[in-house]
């Protein structure tokens, strides 16, 4: 009997169809990845897409990283490493904190992860119990709340205010903690995604002290450190030794697809996180770890890349202003501009689709980052080539007058 005729494979009226788990069915999509899929489909058809949707450098990894990867391919077995990462890489990351921040970190506190995403999963699992509430910024990286939800935790969304430069304040944190359900943790990011705003050292110190006073785990997303243009970023570890710091080689070090990041955690979390990592991930990618060892020696090359981002930022800010898009969050760092576009369309998701369809420029709707006000905003990533940034602004300039006319017709 052929496989196709096997009646055991056919659904029967009495069969009970297994259902998708609630935790999976209830998770919102990461819209930037949906936009990227649509942009890639257009690229295959027309070959004209300018990618401003995904937060990744247009350049590849630094030459020293590529050389280290080639050498590892030649000389290393590339089997599993320890679950916490290569001892040499953990030591080099610890040294980075002394060199860059003047903060002492022991190699034993460092956990190498499969990108920052694994870092968030490990941090949330190690620090919180099901049902715990964690204060997270809004607008903010959507995967914070989606990972928390998938793990049975609750993201308590903190709306950020212009008076605070769209960064959390102690007063806002205390207000969240004072709600009947209380808080177990607090997550912040500086420079932030999607806004690019940064927190001052004094504010970061005050928040670190507040977390200690309130008994909250402080989780600091520092993956955009290094990508600042007017002042350097400060690590939360300078003010709260119990902070959980998450970083990555993806952004400043231009290694997005290598999927390699790290955490710095207090001693009492190291062994619990190691047990989780052993079971969930076995070990981070070994080739990426050997390559990452060379990333800290690539600073001259990386600073040239960052100088290009700074030029792109100016092109974008000037170009958007000329287009009448003037309500823009302070773009202190990272490589994003978060801009209000409600005068163009009431739904930024529809607007992003139209921009891609009409111009070939891929941008991300603010609904990815803010479930309350995101419909009024778009995020533009300026990590591409300078020529692409100029072309994107020209395409938008050529199309936007038509977009306004279309909006008027839509209301008739």
pLDDT digits (tens, 9 = 90+) for 42-61: 999 999 999 999 999 999 99
Domains of the chain: 24-54+299-399 (3.40.640.10), 63-297 (3.40.640.10)
pLDDT of residue 409: 43
pLDDT digits (tens, 9 = 90+) for 267-315: 999 999 999 999 999 999 999 999 999 999 999 999 999 999 999 999 9
pLDDT digits (tens, 9 = 90+) for 223-279: 999 999 999 999 999 999 999 999 999 999 999 999 999 999 999 999 999 999 999
For 280-299, b/e burial (b = at least 16 CB within 10 A) is eeebbbbbbbbbbbbbbebb
Region 11-37 average pLDDT: 86
What is the pTM (predicted TM-score) of this model?
0.92
What is the chain's mean pLDDT, rounded? 93
| Phi (first) and psi of residue 189, to 5 degrees | -140, 130
H-state helical runs in 26-128? 31-46, 63-75, 87-96, 115-127
Spatial CB neighbours of 385, under 8 Å, sequence gap ≥ 6: 58, 308
Evaluate if residue 171 carries a pLDDT over 90.
yes
Q: Above pLDDT 70, what percent of the chain?
A: 94
pLDDT of residue 383: 97
Region 123-148 average pLDDT: 96
Evaluate if residue 404 carries a pLDDT over 80.
no
pLDDT of residue 289: 98
């Amino acid at each position: 009997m052929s496989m196709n005729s096997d009646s055991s494979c056919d659904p029967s009226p009495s069969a009970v169809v297994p259902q998708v788990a609630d935790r999976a069915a209830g998770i919102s999509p990461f819209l930037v990845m949906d936009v990227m899929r649509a942009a890639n489909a257009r690229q295959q058809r027309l070959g004209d897409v300018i990618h401003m949707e995904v937060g990744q450098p247009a350049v590849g990894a630094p030459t020293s990283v590529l050389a280290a990867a080639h050498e590892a391919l030649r000389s290393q077995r590339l089997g599993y490493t320890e679950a916490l990462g290569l001892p040499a890489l953990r030591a080099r990351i610890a040294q980075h904190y002394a060199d860059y921040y003047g903060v002492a970190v022991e190699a034993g506190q460092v956990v190498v992860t499969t990108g920052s995403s694994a870092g968030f999963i490990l941090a949330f699992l190690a620090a919180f119990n099901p049902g715990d509430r964690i204060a997270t910024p809004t607008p903010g990286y959507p995967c914070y709340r989606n990972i928390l939800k998938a793990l049975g935790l609750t993201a308590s969304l903190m709306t950020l205010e212009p008076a605070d430069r769209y960064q959390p304040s102690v007063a806002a944190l205390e207000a969240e903690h004072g709600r009947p359900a209380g808080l177990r943790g607090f997550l912040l990011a500086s420079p932030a995604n999607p806004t690019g705003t940064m927190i001052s050292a004094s504010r970061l110190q005050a928040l670190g002290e507040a977390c200690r006073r309130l008994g909250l785990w402080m989780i600091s997303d520092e993956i955009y450190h290094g990508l600042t243009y007017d002042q350097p970023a400060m690590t939360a570890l300078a003010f709260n030794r119990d902070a959980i710091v998450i970083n990555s080689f993806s952004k400043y070090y231009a290694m997005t697809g290598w999927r390699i990041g790290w955490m710095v955690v207090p001693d009492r979390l190291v062994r619990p996180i190691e047990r989780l990592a052993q079971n969930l991930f076995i070990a981070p990618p070994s080739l990426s770890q050997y390559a990452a060892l060379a990333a800290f020696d690539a600073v001259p090359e990386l600073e040239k890349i960052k100088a290009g981002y700074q030029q792109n930022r100016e092109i974008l800010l000037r170009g958007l202003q000329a287009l009448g898009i003037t309500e823009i969050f302070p773009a202190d760092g990272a490589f994003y501009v978060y801009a209000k576009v409600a005068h163009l369309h009431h739904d930024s998701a529809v607007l992003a689709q139209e921009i891609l369809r009409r111009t070939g420029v891929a941008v991300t709707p603010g609904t990815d980052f803010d479930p309350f006000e995101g419909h009024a905003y778009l995020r533009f990533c300026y990590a591409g080539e300078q020529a692409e940034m100029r072309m994107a602004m020209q395409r938008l300039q050529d199309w936007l007058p038509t977009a306004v006319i279309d909006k008027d017709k839509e209301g008739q």
